[in-house]
Structure 1
Amino acid sequence: MAGSKGTRPGKALALALLALLPGCGALAPRPAGIDQRLATLPREGLGLAGPVTIRWNEHLVPWIEAGSDADLAYALGLVHGHLRGGQIALLRMVARGRLSEMAGPLARDYDHAIRILGFDRAAPEIERRWPAETRAFMTAFLAGLNKAALEGPRPPEFGLLGLRREAFTTTDLLAIGRLAGTDVNWFSYFSLLAERGKPGFAAAWRRTLEAGANLTPPSPREANLPGLLAGLSRAGSNAVAVAPTHSASGAAMLASDPHLGLSLPNLWLLVGMRSPSFHAVGMMVPGVPIIGLGRNPEVAWGGTNLRAASSDLFDVSHLPQEAFTESETTIRQRFWLGATRRVRMTPLGPVLTDARVVPGRPGETLALRWAGQEPADEITSLLRAARARSGAEFRASFDSFAVSPQNFLYADRAGTIGRLTAAILPARRGFPAAGPVLDGTDPASTGPWSHLLHAGDLPALENPPEGVLASANENPNLWAKEPPPLGYFFSDGDRVARLRALLLARPKLRPEDLAALQRDTLAPKAAVLAAGLLARFDALPGGAPDFLGPLRGWDGDYAAGSRAALVFELVLARLLPGLLPEGSNGRGPETGWNFVTTFLLRDLDALPEPRRAALLRQAAAEAAPLAARYRVWGDVHQLRAAHWLVNLPVLGRAFVLGEMPAGGSRETPMKTGHGLVTGPHEVSFGSMARYVSDLADLDSNWFTLFGGQDGWLGSAAFADQIPLWREGRSIRLPLRPETVAAEFPRVTVLRP
């Protein structure tokens, strides 16, 4: 018996390894050319009413022409499933709280938290309210997606993750859409919840509000709930619009570059389409039949995350027992038995602190009220926006759009440029001064949720006199006249100021100028901070150490070859911890760029002179060896191209395609997010797609993804756009049929 017990761990390991054997195709994928991938697209038994033509370019971008809207939707679903079936299946597992079916008991608490959040909770009511045209489009799209999912080739990663073929449902797709609409404020909430009740929290909260400091989005590779959600939510982005008076072509222009997790496959898919109601090109979220950024013959649009607070946390500890309803959810676990967990609901949302991964005070019960729990309808909004024939029609499309709150910029062929706020938010009068948790028994706190503001109630701007618009997640108070209270935390303002400066620096802008703007790596406030730090070092006896010399006259450019950017960040990382409250973990809002620009020099100057001098000397002494070890910013600031399977333990390194020096920083137009820099680090969040349109020409629409079109491991189109992304080149997605025929030479005809 003793011998038998001793072999059990070995048997368990052997069984685990045997379970992974079907995943060997993912570990060593076979190369697949463009024609090979097209040959495996399902062609038989298609649910079409008539023939559909799909033209493909060398990057496997499809351009779909259909005789009916329903056939277009079906073909779109088929293409999404063929190119990104594995990715959409993973998104479903996250959005429905089913990670344990792949990862076993290690993911159980995350699944419980996700099921409490309820990305799928509003789905039945959303579907019930759909207009007939949306229902028909979604039904056809879902049919095409399931044709590919159930009958197309099985994605290589399925074996490794223990996934099986499974039909998608409408609820799955709506949950994926809600997952992409995650409130970015949750990242700060979770950080701040852990600090509540500790000495100094009240002062820290006041400073947080003053700085407007949103927590740096955690890495998608961090093993926590914010890390899991960060790489999948639409958390950042830039967008600009140019009026005809500032355009070299004499027509309006638009450019947009979304900021998301930098993992492969990209969280966007490029598509062109034409049917009786639709004629457009743009970026689509895999598994959702909408164009998030793009252009039709009359209107171009892009957007950025508004970072509005679409959620409130409520202390419901004192609500009567009858205010709570309870249900059980069963979590299936790979390699293990299922687990049962409870999900409690209140009139103020689900009880978040029932999840072990959510911090809270002992005995305190917190609920989360989120606009994503409302039966809003982003799909109908964006389907209508894609058909808009003017800026006015585009603006009118968003009354039912809730999450994630967006700044949409648009430009039309008549020369109008505009900006609208697309969100559903509670009619707040302000935000709490004591912390992020509201009293669930106080009508003044709960009342705003009884009156919801929609897009028509929120700030908008059209045809500004300067002829340009820029958006970069900044506080709406910078541009809107008397905006209602929208949120706590926004980007610093450095990025939007730089975008505006670049737009106004030329009297006549070209598409090439907008493309260059998207790759700009200059942070003006970094130059101001560097000069301020240098002045304080110079004031020390003996002056500034020699290695700080590159900071003299530095303009704040974070080019990969910049020595000054490296020196600045190394000194900052050694200096800032000495200014943080005792016990700080260095991951809270106080390490964000807003905090640094608001408080760094002020806090230094508030110290007694001996303490300030000692802190400066210590920071220089610790940074100097690192500055001697590395030459330039790109030596430590590395961009890693990797499949999302890189997160797997042990096997993850097999899914790294390469690492490369990168320019940019936290708040440069070409955003490449990072924390405090103590040596080489990986950029995991940033500018991961680009788009530019000039409305003077139907064919002047340029797109690039960090990665590629195809999510199939081993495909020639899996990462073929990375060289384009690095070099500032793009793929043209034209609207004229003759140009499409010339530039998309591979033809697939789908027949009923």
Structure 2
Amino acid sequence: MAKQRHRLNSKRSPRGVSLALAMLALLPGCGALAPRPTSIDQRLATLPQEGLGLAGPVTIRWNEHLVPWIEAGSDTDLAYALGLVHGHLRGGQIALLRMVARGRLSEMAGPLARDYDHALRILDFAHAAPEIERRWPPETRAFMTAFLAGLNRVTLEGPRPPEFGLLGLRPEPFTTTDLLAIGRLAGTDVNWLSYFSLLAERGKPGFAAAWRRTLEAGANMTPPAPREANLPGLLAGLSRAGSNAVAVAPTHSASGAAMLASDPHLGLSLPNLWLLVGMRSPSFHAVGMMVPGLPIIGLGRNPDVAWGGTNLRAASSDLFDVSRLPPGAFTESEATIRQRFWFPTTRRVRMTPQGPVLTDASVVPGRPGEALALRWAGQEPADEITSLLHAARARNGAEFRASFASFAVSPQNFLYADRGGTIGRLTAAILPSRTGFPAEGPVLDATNPAATAPWARLLHAGDLPALENPPDGVLASANENPDLWARQPPPVGYFFSDGDRVARLRALLLARPKLTPEDLAMLQRDTLAPKAAVLAKGLLAHLDALPGGPPEPALLAALRGWDGDYAADSRAALVFELILARLLPTLLPEGRSGRGPETGWNFITTFLLRDLDALPEARRTELLRRALTEAAPLAGRYRSWGDVHRLRAAHWLVNLPVLGRAFVLGDMPVGGSRETPMKTGHGLVGGPHEVSFGSMARYVSDLGDPDSNWFTLFGGQDGWLGSAAFADQIPLWREGRSIRLPLRPATVAAEFPRVTVLRP
């Protein structure tokens, strides 16, 4: 790991290093703080290989990045091997995901986490698990049982992850309920982040006007800052909140076959929230990205169909004021929260017909005496695992579409391309059948039958928008409002991404008559935001119109003619963002914090120039001059966007107090912005800042060649601290290179030379 830190140009203070070293003698699990360098062969040598719960031998081939390609004689043996591999490569990560999903953070962090655990117990990600499991078809039950057996074999008998001692964890068998809870955690409704921000503002002067503007802009909340200590900050990096996906028809493809590309946008912590795998058994033959701890391919390719997707940003939840419900509508239980370094404590959990009472948790804002419940589609007994197992075996677009009848959360736009040349998109979700959204605020009245009625009839994938083979031969999705592509879609949400990203993707796709996989890979690294250029031009017009001309003319020279490209070496992007950060807060209504939706890109593109135009001339002149004058000294300290826009490579243990700095591998300049195709999210910019959310994995497939499947993770395959495969893909990610995951057996044998044989 020391070599990795050197390569990534880590910056660590001597004081921080000394303090971390001093703690080494005081803590168990010191291997996490000073991990031994471990080679690929050393990691493979510790994988259990004999006496396994298999019907026959299973062969796993590995490439130099520790990507496994599994060949099994039965589907259940494949599932067992997948569980073994997941546990071996990502056992520590899966254990942490379980602790979050089951509200057990206090068992690692002590009393500091108990209020978060209370909120997580109220959310109860495992609520629907018993009924989901009861409804499983036999093949899903068999696959999950075998996967769980493999995962538990390595969990209980394999080497203990280095971070276990540091966090006070012990090997503990997983249950199907644990895995289903992890799946629901990954399906967190991204609208919760906006809800929590808005709840804190309800009742304050100006909230009604702010809500109307929020609906008009369709703004989602600014991503929480790195290490921000609140519930949204905890959930933001774990939910499938963003992404791009594109599909190209054969008429636009250089190979004459359909193509697909997808790049998820999630938290940029290590290990990555995806795991690369190839597999073959009697029913499965596929490569792709898997969620650690779940036996499904979220994005990938089989010989006949390739698929990817983006978060729909649909409101799969509603908040209800249940304060006026009769006492008999509430059921109450006690949750026991075990605390490291302290005694157990109990907390109240109340349930209503409209969901659990969320405001019983102190970390959820609410008015005094008000009880708010959360009704969420994730509490329904839907079955994403069966849907995605079916999708992985689809032989054409029609079979792929039919796989998602029981898919609920998180709501997704799935794009697909098949070997016959069909490209399409479908909406996979379970949503209440709304007729609209409230104009007064996000909280509904639980005593009003009209407010609760939409949950009596739920919409499924077959009721929601879909599209196949568009006339222009390209599809693009980037968390945009369905109104941009679907005819009269039902009301599905409030908060979508600005249309900037999807417009840029479409422009790039249509700019070339014949596209190649290399073109799609370049598209994923594009850093241009067209609306930023429009805003910069509008600001320049206002500044040039100032009496006597604008101050700091040399500073503004960088903005003239800027096309909106947030390349790391861009001077214009730096200047634009510094001016924006000084100007925007002065335009906010009094009392607004600047951390809510008003600082999101949707708000900026919708209201910035309009609000400037609405000001009296004297006030507008004052604010523009002040913003420019205050931005100039900062712009003098830095040369380019990458000087302040920094991508940190760090293990998730960086969130530990005091010791966290020991888990930073380094930081590096990076391009991109809030709504560029290569997304690197940020808020208002006052100087150097860390990107904590954005484009963290890439995938491209050409259906004309079974071997033309290219993947990259920000990070690496292995979650084992010190492993040679822990962060080895970061240079690939930075340089735009990829790893091929082929489907032809001969290519697999040639490019995955290390062989492990698992035996019963």
- TM-score, normalised to structure 1's length? 0.98
Q: Counterpart of 2:142 in structure 1: which amino acid?
A: A
The residue aligned with 2:685 is 677
Contact 1:220 1:261 in 2 (8 A): no
Distance verdict in 2 for CA 1:463–1:20, change over 3 Å:
farther
Q: Distance in 2 between matches of 1:40 and 1:454?
A: 45
Q: Counterpart of 1:652 in structure 2: which amino acid?
A: G
Q: Distance in 2 between matches of 1:93 and 1:153?
A: 20
The residue aligned with 2:378 is 372
C-alpha deviation, 1:581, in angstroms: 1.1
Distance verdict in 2 for CA 1:652–1:174, change over 3 Å:
same
Sequence identity (%): 89
Are positions 1:475 and 2:497 aligned together?
no
> What SS does the aligned partner of 2:679 have?
coil
Aligned pair partner of 2:134 in 118, 128, 134: 128
C-alpha deviation, 1:465, in angstroms: 0.2
Contact 2:198 2:596 in 1 (8 A): yes
Are positions 1:43 and 2:49 aligned together?
yes
Contact 1:666 1:672 in 2 (8 A): yes
The residue aligned with 2:700 is 692
> What SS does the aligned partner of 1:227 have?
helix
Q: Deviations over 1:471-511 (max 9, x none)?
A: 00000000000000000000000000000000000000000
Q: Deviations over 1:525-579 (max 9, x none)?
A: 0000000001100001232322111110000000000000000000000000000
Q: Counterpart of 2:416 in structure 1: which amino acid?
A: Y
Q: Deviations over 1:88-123 (max 9, x none)?
A: 000000000000000000000000000100101110
Structure 1 gaps of 5+ residues are 1-12
Q: Counterpart of 2:699 in structure 1: which amino acid?
A: Y
Q: Counterpart of 1:718 in structure 2: which amino acid?
A: F
> What SS does the aligned partner of 1:345 have?
strand
Q: What pairs up with 1:140-219 in 2 under 5 angstroms?
A: 140-219=146-225
The residue aligned with 1:625 is 633
Q: Counterpart of 1:683 in structure 2: which amino acid?
A: V
Contact 1:406 1:422 in 2 (8 A): yes
Contact 1:20 1:159 in 2 (8 A): no
Are positions 1:735 and 2:743 aligned together?
yes
Are positions 1:577 and 2:585 aligned together?
yes
Q: Distance in 2 between matches of 1:43 and 1:162?
A: 28
Are positions 1:307 and 2:313 aligned together?
yes
The residue aligned with 1:292 is 298
The residue aligned with 2:244 is 238
- TM-score, normalised to structure 2's length? 0.97
Contact 1:238 1:472 in 2 (8 A): yes
C-alpha deviation, 1:44, in angstroms: 2.6
Are positions 1:433 and 2:439 aligned together?
yes
Q: Distance in 1 between matches of 2:465 and 2:60?
A: 40
Q: What pairs up with 1:508-587 in 2 under 5 angstroms?
A: 508-544=514-550, 545-546=552-553, 547-587=555-595
C-alpha deviation, 1:19, in angstroms: 9.5
Root-mean-square deviation (CA), in Å? 1.1
Q: Distance in 1 between matches of 2:718 and 2:213?
A: 45
C-alpha deviation, 1:23, in angstroms: 2.1
Q: Distance in 2 between matches of 1:196 and 1:595?
A: 19
Contact 2:714 2:730 in 1 (8 A): yes
C-alpha deviation, 1:709, in angstroms: 0.1
Q: Distance in 1 between matches of 2:23 and 2:585?
A: 44
Distance verdict in 2 for CA 1:439–1:20, change over 3 Å:
farther
C-alpha deviation, 1:584, in angstroms: 1.4
Q: Distance in 2 between matches of 1:18 and 1:364?
A: 47
> What SS does the aligned partner of 2:687 have?
coil
Contact 2:226 2:690 in 1 (8 A): no
Q: Distance in 2 between matches of 1:443 and 1:301?
A: 40
Q: Distance in 1 between matches of 2:219 and 2:407?
A: 26
Are positions 1:276 and 2:282 aligned together?
yes
The residue aligned with 1:227 is 233
Aligned pair partner of 2:600 in 589, 592, 603: 592
Aligned pair partner of 1:26 in 29, 32, 36: 32
> What SS does the aligned partner of 1:551 have?
coil
The residue aligned with 1:639 is 647
The residue aligned with 2:504 is 498
Contact 1:233 1:260 in 2 (8 A): yes
The residue aligned with 1:601 is 609
C-alpha deviation, 1:222, in angstroms: 1.0
C-alpha deviation, 1:21, in angstroms: 2.0
Q: Which moved more, 1:346-355 or 1:20-29?
A: 20-29
Q: Counterpart of 2:90 in structure 1: which amino acid?
A: R
C-alpha deviation, 1:583, in angstroms: 1.4
The residue aligned with 2:70 is 64
Q: How many residue pairs end up in the alignment?
A: 739
> What SS does the aligned partner of 1:22 have?
coil
The residue aligned with 2:421 is 415
Q: Counterpart of 1:568 in structure 2: which amino acid?
A: F
The residue aligned with 1:10 is none
Q: Deviations over 1:647-683 (max 9, x none)?
A: 0010000000010000000000000000000000000
The residue aligned with 2:11 is none
Are positions 1:454 and 2:460 aligned together?
yes
C-alpha deviation, 1:217, in angstroms: 2.5
Q: Distance in 2 between matches of 1:430 and 1:669?
A: 30
Contact 2:218 2:495 in 1 (8 A): yes
